[in-house]
Chain A
Amino acid sequence: MSNDLLLVALAAWLVAAILAPSGRAAILARALLGLGGVSALLLIATTLPQGLAAIHLPLGIGPAGAVFRLAPEALWLLGFGLFGAVLAAWLGPPERRQSTWIFGAAASLIGVLGVFGLQDAISFLVAWEIMSLGGAVMLLGDNLAQDIGRPVLFMLGLLEAGAVALILAFILLAAHGNSLSFADFASAAASLPRAEQLFVGLLLLIGFGAKLGLLPFYEWFPGAYGAGSGATGAFLSGVVLNAAFFALSRGLIDWLPVDRTLSLSIAGIFVVAIGVVSAILTALYAFQQEAWRELLSLSSAENGAIAVCLVGAALMFRQDGLMDLAGLAWIVALLHLAGHALAKGAMFLSADGVYRATGEYKLVQRGILTRSPWIFGLGALFAAMSLAAMPPQAGFVSEWYLFQTFFQGFHLTSLASRLAAALAGAGLALTVAIAFATFLKVFGIGLLGRPEQNGKPVSGATALAVGGLGLLVLALAVGMPVWLNALAPAVADNFATAAVDKMHVGPLLVPATGAPIRLNGTFAFISPSLLAIVMPLLAVIPMTMLLLSRRFAVRRAAVWYGGRDQDPRKATTTALTFSNALRTFYSFIYRPTVQTEHELADQSNGQPYFIRRLVFTHDVAPVFGPYLFAPLEKLVGAIATRLRIIQSGHLNFYLSLIGALLVIILFIALL
């Protein structure tokens, strides 16, 4: 039964990929995408706690054929990502010509399925590349930007650099283990010397981090997402991000062995450090963005980095034998990405809704919320609350667990680990605070404000999609004690612990504490399930006060502006002014630039006093762009210029090159 569902999903996506380039039948192709997604969701719903058993595929590049197996955590991550993907496919990208986009979406989904399920190196890499290229094709298909080539090329360049790292890692592991299958990689890694183990870990981090947005790879995010549509963003930040995380967590946790001779986990501390610094940087830069897509993209990188942090924490705890806490950290990462996939999908679809209503993706106060169906506002609010970590949403649950995990770093034995945990906690606190402000900005400036004249509302379909995702976020949080049970076998598998049982007591959620603190509901707890009941009841008090106050007559007078009319629209908070204080405070990171050009009146005759127009531009400088990527670009450009000699255009030269090449091959063959 489950295999049939899987087959339906795969087939639907393949057919969609084939139909799409023909240009007609776009609606059918999108419907097939959605159908495939629904089928996959059904599959997940039916197989979740145990996972999908291994299927042997006859075709495969390796000698033994390919094995396809979906672990429970893979199902969890895939499922939550698919909600957003299905709804994005249903709504489609805003532009007319969708054939390229549908093809890219189908390719992405197929690649994602492969990344989650394929169990040997070569087919995994093929699926990884299909996923990456699918994403690139989706961006190209959106056709929303003038200069779309450069950011997509930058993205592909960095992803390919990551892919090269992955290939190297797989080669190292496969060579030592004499097998391309992932099942043998654990033992292969165990036989490597410690330095090489760490090197492999670093390569995996680079390879998957390029997709997740760890430093310095997050720099492709704003450019690439900013050239695409919200639907593409829902894909890239949902299923694709989850797939990359799944692969990274499997690599670091399952493959890298625990070195009992050390008291601390070097890999763990390093991963935590990278995760925290990436999270801080991406959070800071997300806060300064002034358009939906770029801001949400950097926020996705931030959340990916937080999940990576948790993986590092799991490694640190596991080294000390604190399996409960390790399991807790790992589960929190899964919870975090689940909530993130739903909420980010909702936000990206809202962005598309705003684009369809107003024609641009900029964050400007236009009062869209007041004009649109109420379900849209509800969904967007829940999603923004979740990403800002406000109770009772899913984001709050995972952030609370995040801090509970790091606060329990005092259980670790080595000073370095404890220090790392403490500093990570502090850094993540900063990140969370900035994320809160960021989503306040998105919701407040992007959706609220005084309604414009002649403004269009968000379409009903978008409203339903966003509302649905928002309600799912709430459902995730409220039903958390139930959903946690779905991960029990997974965590038992990876960490040999029943951490899930220790994470909830009735409707309360508690941190699975390591010994010796006793577990009960009084240590620390939250309960979105109960909050979902209590919070609406609390609203009764202000509503009563409002109704009672209707008894007093009120004279309304115009707003006092100093005696003159004022158009409030000209004094509203803009995206820049909201973020301006932080921009000044963190100017040592941002290195902001502000420039005002004065255009003089025609008859000024050179006098600088008669200003006709002010042109105001502002920018923040990226951290890695000028110091890492620009020099690399220059280097590559320099090498390319040198190598241009080969493109001489003379036939004789080409023939002589071919001759030289043949001679070299002859020599190699003879040796």
Chain B
Amino acid sequence: MNAVAAKDLSVAEPLTIEPERLPSAIGELIRDGGRMQMAYAWYAAPGRIELRYLASRGPREEYFLWRCTPRGAVPSVASICPLLGWYEREITDLFGVEFIGHPESRPLVLHQGVHPELPPFDPNYPINSELPFPPADSGLPQVAGADVQRLPFGPVRADVVESAELIFLYVGEHILHLHPQLFFKHRGMEKRFEGRSLASAVVLAERVSGVGSFAHALAFCQAVEQAAGCVVPQRALMLRSLLAELERLYNHLHYLGHLCGTTTLKVGEAEGKLLEERAKQLNGRLTGSRFLRSLLMPGGLRRDLEPKPWLGVDLEALRREIAAYVAMLENTNSHLDRLITTGVLPHQLAFDQGATGPIQRASGFDRDLRRDHAYAAYAELPLTVPVKTTGDAHARAQVRIAEIDASIALIQRILPLLKDGPVRVDCAPPANSEGLGWAESPRGSLFYAVHLGPDGSLARVKVKSPSFSNWRVFPFTVHDSNMMDYAINEASFGLTVAGCDR
């Protein structure tokens, strides 16, 4: 169905570029309609750091990589492509590479005041040594005006939520500036991949972001499969798509319940959470894991599943309940009132800061990795991508509601198409190979860049999670808004901190 199917899963050989030419090259790319995706660093050889920049020249164009070897400090491109700002700060923290001319050159991943003896990714870093985090000032802008109040909320917040410190500069009801101090939950997962076997690495990938387990494992497996050049059997591809949509389903239902919680629609919240529980129980019955874990391996699935007899029926019953619920939500004026015009994300801001996923689609971008760079079995499946242009909380909710419908329709389409066959194939990537895998997780585009070392074990795995991109975007929708709308706005983004912090 989709003509770009053939070349989707491949990525061209990286282009070498001199560090000094980076700013102009990236500037040209953006002017010609291209887009940067991410940047990372790795030790290509002992003592030699190499920087990689992932980009695409157009929405459905193939991805390509720039690589450059820094000699000393590298010119920063954050003022040309703002979304790369965070990636550069992360590289500085973890690898020690300095970027000249960065407008916000403060630590990102390691907090201010944390001084490891060596950059953590340095091969000589003393593992299992404790790294103290002294209390320090965060990177708030200076404030002129004695009446501005400062509310640091967190990192231990008031409900069963993830740890993150949100610092508000506000006056009464009016929020002047929000500064999220994230990375309290930084576990250094990328470094934990190094040296692991592939089976163990899939298990690790599943636990980078718990509610995106399947998407992370899928992206990792696809990266390894690309490095090995193996072809996954058709049944496995179909089942992979089915499971990815099941994960999207329970995540979006949780999102709707949580959103109702913030607009204090109590019965709506209860119903949303109940539907999420039904979806998770469905996952448990089908796969033995409520989070769809322990299923994937490079080359296919670890074991076969038998969804046909009952999944279609149960899913249809669930769909009817969801439809009734959503119809009521869209007719509840008090709920909609709190969503419409709240937390507007303008189109240009979404592009500049690299918003991804339903948030991006709610601000007018027609992008979806399942369609633009089809993976698993998506090339053969009909996919509707909902797009809204208002960019407010209501638009983000509507996009997700449409995606729920699309996911259920996809699963119902996959079920009759499932044919018997093997679900795995051997997959052994050669030494010194690399692969790029991606998936459209419930929160947006997810990339895994996998490098294998001389002995065939993992040398470097870079995880670009959608929450890392979207947390950068979020504060800009909060500046100059008001306190009452804050919780609703945060819920309407539906981000995870674990995915961002890794």
Taking beta carbons and an 8 Å cutoff, which residues of A are in contact with B?
A: 290, 362, 364, 561-566, 570-571, 574-577, 580-581, 584, 594, 596, 600-607, 609-618
Contacts and interface: CB of A to CB of B under 8 A. Distances in A.
Nearest to B76: A603
Contacts of A571: 149-151
Contact of B144 (A564, A605, A616): A616
B103 A596 contact: no
A612 B141 contact: yes
Contacts of A614: 141-145, 148, 169, 176-177
Contacts of B104: 601, 610
14 contacts: A362-B146, A364-B146, A562-B156, A564-B135, A574-B147, A574-B149, A577-B171, A600-B103, A603-B78, A605-B79, A614-B144, A615-B145, A616-B144, A616-B148
A78 B456 CA distance: 99
B103 A604 contact: yes
Contacts of A584: 172-173
Interface string B17-61: 000000000000000000000000000000000000000000000
Interface in B54-105: 76, 78-80, 82, 85, 101-104
B480 A601 contact: no
Nearest to B83: A609
A122 B80 CA distance: 77
Given A596-B480, A609-B476, A614-B177, A565 B135 contact: yes
A610 B155 contact: no
Given A563-B155, A616-B144, A607 B173 contact: no
Nearest to A563: B156
A-B CB proximity, top 8 nearest: A616-B145, A605-B79, A580-B172, A610-B103, A576-B147, A601-B103, A563-B156, A603-B103
Contacts, number: 108
B153 interface: yes
B191 interface: no
A607 B352 contact: yes
B154 A563 contact: yes
A617 B156 contact: no
A585 to B, nearest CB: 12
B135 A570 contact: no
B142 A613 contact: yes
Interface in B133-186: 135, 141-157, 163, 165, 169, 171-174, 176-177
A606 B81 CA distance: 11
A350 B173 CA distance: 32
A520 B165 CA distance: 65
Contacts of B172: 576-577, 580-581, 584
Chain B interface size, as a band, is 35 or more
Contact of B173 (A580, A611, A618): A580
A605 B80 contact: yes
B460 to A, nearest CB: 29
Contacts of A575: 147
Contacts of B226: none
Contacts of A362: 146
Q: Interface of chain B, helix or strand or loop or mixed?
A: loop
Nearest to B144: A615
B114 to A, nearest CB: 14
Contact of B352 (A364, A577, A609): A609
Nearest to A605: B79
Contact of A604 (B79, B149, B153, B155): B79
Given A609-B476, A614-B142, 12 more contacts: A564-B154, A571-B150, A576-B147, A577-B149, A603-B76, A607-B352, A610-B79, A611-B141, A613-B141, A614-B141, A615-B145, A616-B171
B353 interface: yes
A278 to B, nearest CB: 28
B470 to A, nearest CB: 15
A605 B169 CA distance: 25
A587 B343 CA distance: 24
A603 B157 CA distance: 35
B486 to A, nearest CB: 16
B141 A602 contact: no
A575 B353 CA distance: 37
A377 to B, nearest CB: 24
A319 B345 CA distance: 67
Give the interface centre of A562, A571, A580 by most chain B CB atoms within 10 Å: A562
A498 B141 CA distance: 68
A612 B163 CA distance: 26
Give the interface centre of B76, B101, B152, B176 by most chain A CB atoms within 10 Å: B152
A545 B3 CA distance: 83
B103 A618 contact: no
Contacts of B173: 580, 584
B160 to A, nearest CB: 15
A584 B155 CA distance: 32
Contacts of B146: 362, 364, 574
Given A580-B171, A594-B174, A603-B76, A564 B155 contact: yes
Given A577-B149, A616-B144, A596 B135 contact: no
Contacts of A596: 176, 480
A288 to B, nearest CB: 12
A553 B36 CA distance: 62
B171 A618 contact: yes
B142 A612 contact: yes
A378 to B, nearest CB: 29
A562 B150 contact: no
A618 B145 CA distance: 9
Contact of B152 (A561, A594, A615, A616): A561
Contacts of A580: 171-173
A611 B177 contact: yes
Contacts of A576: 147, 171-172
Give the interface centre of A290, A611, A613, A615 by most chain B CB atoms within 10 Å: A611
Give the interface centre of B147, B155, B172 by most chain A CB atoms within 10 Å: B147
A558 to B, nearest CB: 12
B171 to A, nearest CB: 6
Contacts of A581: 172
Given A581-B172, A611-B141, A613-B144, A562 B157 contact: yes
A616 B176 contact: yes
Contacts of B352: 607, 609
Contacts of B141: 611-614
A606 B78 CA distance: 11
A606 B80 CA distance: 9
A607 B82 contact: yes
A577 B147 contact: yes
Contacts of B169: 614
Contacts of B151: 571
Contacts of B103: 600-605, 607, 610
A617 B101 CA distance: 30
B149 A570 contact: yes
A571 to B, nearest CB: 6
Contacts of B174: 594
A616 B150 contact: no
